[in-house]
Chain A
């Protein structure tokens, strides 16, 4: 199983002081949630961890080797990413989109075979989009597309899963379904590292949490320790009320202004 860590990593958010250097060690079977307000650099961090953006300083280390020294193809076999935004300039079907996840595993002359097809179908089923497999991507709803993107990552089947707000556009049922799926994957030995806006999803499904502040400060650790109301209030600049339910601490924002 692959292991992802950072050494004195400063991500490059333009116009921001260096802040606090990240020394993360993300292990298999962990589910990491990155929390932070808009513009804190969550997406930048994810892209930097995937080697898609250069760091300002420090290193991202994948299996004891600097990420920058590894071939993209080798990286892609161990680490995959679901983007928040996707380009679809050309029409493509759901099946084609999922199958693209097999790309790092095939040699130049190879075509996708039955087993690749089976993996893609499995992933589409897991995300409840198997019935759409012949549809064109641009005819789907935002939530359906989000699930297809996650299915593509599942088809790619790397050890480390990076996801940028995977619950975006999803209805409640599918939010839960996706979070359960990610937890299952972690249970099977994968590493899951995702950005979230929903504190409660983080509280219920994440084993570890990284708080990213707008000024570049950061702190991280096990979810139970990190999800302190005071720290979160400071993070979001928002008063919170905590509620205990179903064995978890849940966070509700304090309403200012008159009640309806």
Chain B
């Protein structure tokens, strides 16, 4: 027992170099190897999804600024803003002296991102398009933030959750589904979209899954022709808001005849974050209901 201070000192000495020179590296979505001399302490996120993922990676307390509409988790609402994701206030951003900026590959203006890069601001660009991508990006963000413990747990939890659902619905009866992204103009998603993948996971067959565009614009006619058994759409908190009312005129539509018009909370389903798990569970439940009707 008398030795413990010595032991402790030894431990500190042993790990000191590691702690001081702890360079952390991760590969981002553009294939760039991003290395920080030490885990990031002042992080700015340039999309609401990135904010959410940063918090999920256990590094919420290291986020110093976000862009507008970063509304989850609630703690993010208290953070200062640096503009919105399409038009970033670069001055405000630089004033936070960030040691890591998380960008959104297709959401942020390329010219502004390039300028940040030229100014030597460490950038990590993300845009998960698969379930595994969500887990992986959480892991990588946690590596850069030095919060691997929390991050890997969260990532594993998400991975396991998706796996469980996937197994549960492997033998589920296929059901034709139409997911309405927007009412006016009428828009949906294809199978490459994360929402499309959610539908597939739950045993749904996206009637527009084979379209070439990620978010195709379609006419009401082709929806009637495809005759889905269920129609889903996102809304604020999953409340019914009349966005599916137009379909009620078509009683010939199976989804209408069987009363299979469902609302799911828009923000979790449209953001590639851990909340996608709850959203997936919810959609699977709705499809179960639809199968029974």
Are A and B direct contacts in the complex by CB distance below 8 Å?
A: no
Seen from chain A, the residues whose Cβ lies within 8 Å of a Cβ on chain B are none
Seen from chain B, the residues whose Cβ lies within 8 Å of a Cβ on chain A are none
